[in-house]
Structure 1
Amino acid sequence: METPFAKAKRSAMKSEFDPKALTTLLMNLLKERNESLREAALKSGLDHQALRRLLAGQRPNIVTCILLADHFGISPNDFLKLAGWPTMKVFDVEISSEENLPAEAIEVARDIAKIKDPMTRKAITEAIRTLLTKYFE
């Protein structure tokens, strides 16, 4: 049986947080979008000090992770994992109608989902979309 979210959250609060991966991701996303901390915070609906605290090594709260993920267009579960929080089922990506998709598409989607680094996953997805756009021209 799966651990209830509230229990997993309490457990995560007691665990040590390593900010390196999350701060690296945030800096890469800011650089990729050519945004300042203040711009990203405002567009995310956050106080810019929230991002400064994150970069200083403080664990962001769950809502901050979700708002940042929404702003940057990546899965909230990626931010939650990197911040040491449990993931949320509501953000799990599932193929709702596999029977309507070719087997090859399902295999590719599953392979992409295995990629741990969200930046790499995003880059590969964009490359596939570029190839498909060229194919359908």
Structure 2
Amino acid sequence: MKKLFTFLLFSGLFVGVSNTVMAQEDYQALNLAISFGNNTKIKANYEIPVAKNITVAPAVIIPLDFDYIGLGVKADYYFDSLMNLPKPWDIWAGVDTSFNVGQDNDIFDINAHVGVEYKFNSTWGILGEFGGGSASFGGIGVGIHF
């Protein structure tokens, strides 16, 4: 399982960094959030557009008790153009997975989620993400767009 996770993480990074395909809209962003669920966590991910309306994001998850660190990858599909949303709004759905290092049995988490973001300007936005799976039920945070 560790080899599969490592392969997926590096594959996502390779595809994202290659910059050969860019999304129609600018979804490149650093997202910082606090998640709620089984325990409160701080989450950070960097979204990299890989195709029209699709991003891949390496992620880091740290619980507030600092019991472990989660290293993961997230993939999202943006529905903005499909739904003809006005410019400041983003709506997406996707999956994320992480491998939690530092726990006794090194747990592998997988989740499905939906999210929404309102952008105040070209740089800042507020976001909410909700879903289910083994790691969290959702979260709230900020998006910093480049």
TM tier, shorter chain?
under 0.3
How does the TM-score come out when normalised to structure 2? 0.26
Q: Which has the higher strand share?
A: 2
